[in-house]
Amino acid sequence: MLVVLNALRRFRREGDFRRAHASMAGFDIESTDGQALALAAAQHRRAHQSAGHTIRSAPDVLLATFCIERDYALLPKDRDFLAFEALRGLKGCPVRNVPAKDSRSNP
């Protein structure tokens, strides 16, 4: 559920949002374990604060904690996730550079 939120919240255009949502329809949705995940996330956030790192987004803390607890890798996109890799053992996936599509070429 957190991954769906994190992925879909970034789409500004309705058509893009609908296509992305439709492409996720076949994915399994896992429970976030409610209170247990919230407690673990709070502990992770406090550890970051003690180390002098401010995590800006509560959903990012929950998502990183979910991945850490389940030993999942996450494709990091921002500094919050990179901090979780460095301080809390979050597994990240390597990012490959994908060339931008040339807007002048025909599809």
Summarize pLDDT for 19-73 with one digit per residue, the tens.
Answer: 999 988 888 878 777 899 999 999 999 998 888 888 888 888 888 888 888 888 8
pTM: 0.66
Band of pLDDT at residue 3, cut at 50, 70 and 90: confident
pLDDT of residue 11 exceeding 80: yes
Confidence at residue 98, expressed as pLDDT on a 0 to 100 scale = 46
Cα 73 to Cα 26: distance, rounded to the nearest angstrom: 20
Confidence at residue 38, expressed as pLDDT on a 0 to 100 scale = 92
DSSP category for residue 95 = P
Residue type, 37: L
Cα 89 to Cα 85: distance, rounded to the nearest angstrom: 5
Between 13 and 60, the more confident residue is: 13
Confidence at residue 39, expressed as pLDDT on a 0 to 100 scale = 94
Closest CA to 80 of 62, 93, 94: 62
